[in-house]
Structure 1
Amino acid sequence: MTDVEHLTAQLESQQAENGTDRRNENGENTRGMEMGGTSHGGQAEDDDDTVTISLLPQDNESNVQSNSASATPGGEASVMDTSLNSQASEPITPKKKPPGKWSKYKKRYNAKWEKEPGLMEWIRRVPGDDTKVQCRFCQNNIRAHVTELRKHANSIKHKSQSAFVVLPYDSNSRDDTGPTYSQHVPRMFKCMRVVRVTEWGGSDVLEVFSDVSMPEPENDQVLIKVGAVGVNPVDAYIRSGHYANLPNLPWTPGADCSGTVESCGHLVTKFRPGDRVYANGSLTGTYAEYTLCSEDSVFGLPDQLDFKGGAGIGIPYFTAYRALMQRAKARPGQTVLIHGASGSVGMATVQFARAYGMTVLGTAGTEDGMRLVREFGAHFVFNHRCEDYCDEILTATEGDGVDVIIEMLANVNLQRDLELLSMGGTVAVVGNRGTIEINPRLLMPKESSIVGVMLQKSTKKERREIATSIRAGIEAGWIRPHIGMEFPLEGAAFAHEELMTQNGKQGRIILVP
């Protein structure tokens, strides 16, 4: 019996026994000649010679073509072709698919990183060799790879993914041989810093979170990279829980900001990425590095103002115009008293009234405040902490009183306002922090009136009117927001404390991310 016939007989015997071990005539194991394993070839060893047979599956059948070479110790060689026809007892098992690129790292994740959303989730889903992140502590750039990030984090003893931020994609410096940032990095996995309120209370409930996913604009929404944030009293009212319509928690404060357009929804027509803008109204809150706004709440920022000045526009100037022109219906030539003119809304009202040809009277509580109101254009300035300041106002108007009063603290001054009004005069209530008892009879002989001011009730047409007037004022140079104090995002609590106490400081308070 030849060597090939001998090996063929052994193979058929093994198949008949349903997978039992095959041995040659000397009792040696011949496991290498398997039909259905991960190997496509087998070998049988003998004392005198070696025969190699290749077994290849063909057309789902067990016909195998083999080319064998036999070499003798003497050096003679012969080549033979053999065809084996056999029926496999079991189907051929397909080769297993190798595990995913990142699966072997999953168990090595730090437990804290595993629980936090954002950056680590992005790295796990969409790896990219050309994508880098930046360490917030040492400013080093690290490749977005789990093991490298953990190694760096452990080396400087910070183990939170909050320490890293995804670097912006630079189309001018990318390597064309690799995947691009814009192709494989969803914005929802880019992290940003925001100030959040998780429970209503004092200023200490304002906390900075560094691992919040960046929002994605849809439809008519605009995503703004925030340059500066305006702090308003309403932010503190809502934060304390003393507000009529409280939002859901967690909540990010803020409605005013300025910055550049990061991206736009597909229905946005007025703006495109890179435009300088300011916003009065936000969908996600402006105490953040990025904020999402409706297109109707975003307006172009002229070059005459920087981002800090742009953050001073928003609510103060929109409220001032609405109170003075739309609610009190002031006209050129009238006399206007701004009760509390050293605040952000008050100074905005002074600028509008002076620009529209009115006689402007303002009050403040400190010498610095009075000086500031005078610098911004008021004709007469009074200290409302003096007991006889109302008599001084009547003297300045020759006893006629004032046509319009813009009131910032009605629970303290409303009764005096009614006494200072002229015939047909109007008090526009912008701010109030409590209750007061007044004598309604004072309204009757003068046919005067009291109107409330709520910027949120303005229509789109009215807001466009306000924005047009503001842009004209900025370009002409008579709208000049005054920045009193500025804080970083981490100082939001101090900004709220300063806002409610003032401590003699005047002007707009802003945050700079």
Structure 2
Amino acid sequence: MDAVKVTEHGGTEELEYGSVPDPDPAPDEVLVDIKAGALNHLDVWVRRGLPGLDLELPHVTGSDGAGVVERVGEDVTQYEVGDRVALSAGVSCGECEFCRDGEASLCETFHIIGEHVPGVHSEYAAIPAENLIPVPDHVDWETAGSSSLVFQTAWRMLIDRAELSAGERVLVLGASGGVGHAALQIADYAGAEIYATGSSEQKLEYAREHGADHVCNYEEEDFADWILEETDGRGVDVVVEHVGEPTWRDSIKSLAKGGRLVTCGGTAGGAPETDIQRIFWNQLNILGSTMATPGEVDDVMELVWDGTFEPAIRDVLPMSEAARAHEMLQNREGFGKVVVKPDSEMD
């Protein structure tokens, strides 16, 4: 079969769409005929190489995907050939103390399909049955293949970790990006007053249309000063942070006393300077968040399937153009998700 693969860590020239061995599902796995997938910034980091991530190359990319069950392992009882399914990429052991407490994303062996093990940007993928989500018949493949990672991440960040309440003020950075546009919709669903940042009028208009009450072009003004002006010096209750070094200090500055900053990563740098005095004096909470529990995935994906939440899709490309898809994320072209399909699935 053909798949998107990283041949060496580095630039987009290290991506190929070509032949890899056909997957052979284990007894607890399902062979899925992939109809669509989507890129996340995680794919860019994996391609470039992450500290401590020692992958066997070539490595098949992709942590978002959906398709039709082609074959089931002998131990699988919950799926049948022909079922429509999507991937939830976080893999847990189900046995450690955290899994037993219902916190699968804290699992001692937690890892992500597409990052630590081969992904699903391929014609077929063998996926643990526990990592599949049923997809209703009315949901198109572009939606099914692009929603899971960002919506589950944003849901856990805001609903579980930050415990966002109706009426609270929340700042969503990069509100037109993957996690950002999911967080925007979830914050609106929770009844928050939303402050959103973006780098162009088009992106800010998208934010307004999807729940933002106040918007700021961070290319033109300092967003922390803007927040303090908009809130009469108070700040916001929650900041959704996923950028890292360039925004970290201003994100902390934007918080009201007792506020919560919740972060799921650092797309622009993972080792920022921080303002310890402001953190302790204002009694701020810094919360980390990774992926979601199976129950949280079920909760948020039901809201995707019924249309309450909707992934923004900036383009649909064949997997043979994966390098171009990576460039779109790196260069912040457009907004929302870049969907990729096996070349054989392109109309």
TM-score, structure 1 normalization: 0.59
Which amino acid is the alignment partner of residue 201 of structure 1?
A: G
| Aligned ranges 1:134-283 → 2 under 5 Å | 192-210=1-19, 212-281=20-89, 282=113
- Using the TM superposition, give the Cα deviation of residue 303 of structure 1 relative to its aligned residue in structure 2, in angstroms: 3.4
- Structure 1 residues 206 and 475, CA, compared in 2 at 3 Å: closer, same or farther? closer
3-state secondary structure, aligned to 1:273: coil
Contact 1:194 1:209 in 2 (8 A): yes
- Structure 1 residues 284 and 438, CA, compared in 2 at 3 Å: closer, same or farther? closer
Which amino acid is the alignment partner of residue 332 of structure 1?
A: A
Q: Which residue of 273, 276, 290 corresponds with 1:437?
A: 273
| Aligned ranges 1:98-113 → 2 under 5 Å | none
- Using the TM superposition, give the Cα deviation of residue 304 of structure 1 relative to its aligned residue in structure 2, in angstroms: 4.1
| Aligned ranges 1:31-42 → 2 under 5 Å | none
Structure 2, unaligned stretches of length 5 or more? Answer: 90-112, 343-347
Which amino acid is the alignment partner of residue 309 of structure 2?
A: I
Partner of 2:227: 393
Partner of 2:199: 365
Partner of 2:296: 466
- Using the TM superposition, give the Cα deviation of residue 475 of structure 1 relative to its aligned residue in structure 2, in angstroms: 4.2
Counterpart Cα distance in 1 of 2:285 and 2:140: 39
Counterpart Cα distance in 2 of 1:321 and 1:315: 10
What is the CA deviation profile of residues 477-506 of structure 1, one whole-angstrom value per residue up to 9, with x for unaligned ones?
211111112211110111111111123x11
Partner of 1:509: 338
Counterpart Cα distance in 1 of 2:162 and 2:282: 16
Partner of 1:342: 176
Question: 2:125 aligned with 1:291, yes or no?
Answer: yes
Q: Which residue of 270, 294, 314 corresponds with 2:148?
A: 314
- Using the TM superposition, give the Cα deviation of residue 219 of structure 1 relative to its aligned residue in structure 2, in angstroms: 1.6
Contact 1:253 1:286 in 2 (8 A): yes
Counterpart Cα distance in 2 of 1:242 and 1:218: 28
3-state secondary structure, aligned to 1:353: helix
3-state secondary structure, aligned to 1:474: helix
3-state secondary structure, aligned to 1:411: coil
Which amino acid is the alignment partner of residue 87 of structure 2?
A: A
Partner of 1:329: 163
Counterpart Cα distance in 1 of 2:297 and 2:285: 27
Partner of 1:377: 211
- Using the TM superposition, give the Cα deviation of residue 273 of structure 1 relative to its aligned residue in structure 2, in angstroms: 1.2
Moved more, 383-392 or 199-208: 383-392
Q: Which residue of 212, 237, 248 corresponds with 1:414?
A: 248
Counterpart Cα distance in 2 of 1:365 and 1:423: 28
Count of matched residue pairs: 314
Contact 1:305 1:474 in 2 (8 A): no
- Using the TM superposition, give the Cα deviation of residue 245 of structure 1 relative to its aligned residue in structure 2, in angstroms: 1.6
Contact 2:135 2:305 in 1 (8 A): no
Counterpart Cα distance in 2 of 1:425 and 1:303: 42
- Using the TM superposition, give the Cα deviation of residue 357 of structure 1 relative to its aligned residue in structure 2, in angstroms: 1.7
3-state secondary structure, aligned to 1:487: strand
Partner of 1:64: none
3-state secondary structure, aligned to 2:31: strand
Counterpart Cα distance in 2 of 1:288 and 1:482: 22
Which amino acid is the alignment partner of residue 307 of structure 1?
A: W
Counterpart Cα distance in 2 of 1:255 and 1:438: 31
3-state secondary structure, aligned to 1:215: coil
Contact 2:151 2:182 in 1 (8 A): yes
Partner of 2:102: none
Which amino acid is the alignment partner of residue 12 of structure 2?
A: S
Q: Which residue of 317, 322, 335 corresponds with 1:492?
A: 322
Runs of 4+ in 1 over 6 A off after TM superposition: none
3-state secondary structure, aligned to 1:404: strand
What is the CA deviation profile of residues 450-490 of structure 1, one whole-angstrom value per residue up to 9, with x for unaligned ones?
122222xx5xxx2x222222233124421111111221111
Which amino acid is the alignment partner of residue 273 of structure 1?
A: V
TM-score, structure 2 normalization: 0.86
Partner of 1:49: none
Counterpart Cα distance in 1 of 2:302 and 2:167: 21
- Structure 1 residues 492 and 484, CA, compared in 2 at 3 Å: closer, same or farther? same
- Structure 1 residues 257 and 399, CA, compared in 2 at 3 Å: closer, same or farther? same
3-state secondary structure, aligned to 2:18: strand
- Structure 1 residues 194 and 388, CA, compared in 2 at 3 Å: closer, same or farther? closer
Partner of 2:282: 446
- Using the TM superposition, give the Cα deviation of residue 401 of structure 1 relative to its aligned residue in structure 2, in angstroms: 1.1
Which protein has the larger Cα radius of gyration, Structure 1 or Structure 2? 1
Contact 2:30 2:129 in 1 (8 A): yes
3-state secondary structure, aligned to 2:86: strand
Which amino acid is the alignment partner of residue 29 of structure 2?
A: Q
3-state secondary structure, aligned to 1:399: coil
What is the CA deviation profile of residues 354-386 of structure 1, one whole-angstrom value per residue up to 9, with x for unaligned ones?
112222221101111101111112222211112
What is the CA deviation profile of residues 173-205 of structure 1, one whole-angstrom value per residue up to 9, with x for unaligned ones?
xxxxxxxxxxxxxxxxxxx11122222221111
Which amino acid is the alignment partner of residue 164 of structure 2?
A: A
> Whose relative contact order is higher, 1 or 2, with alpha carbons under 8 Å and at least 6 apart?
2
Counterpart Cα distance in 1 of 2:16 and 2:177: 26
Counterpart Cα distance in 2 of 1:467 and 1:307: 18
3-state secondary structure, aligned to 2:176: coil
The percent identity for this pair of structures is: 32
3-state secondary structure, aligned to 1:511: strand
What is the CA deviation profile of residues 140-186 of structure 1, one whole-angstrom value per residue up to 9, with x for unaligned ones?
xxxxxxxxxxxxxxxxxxxxxxxxxxxxxxxxxxxxxxxxxxxxxxx
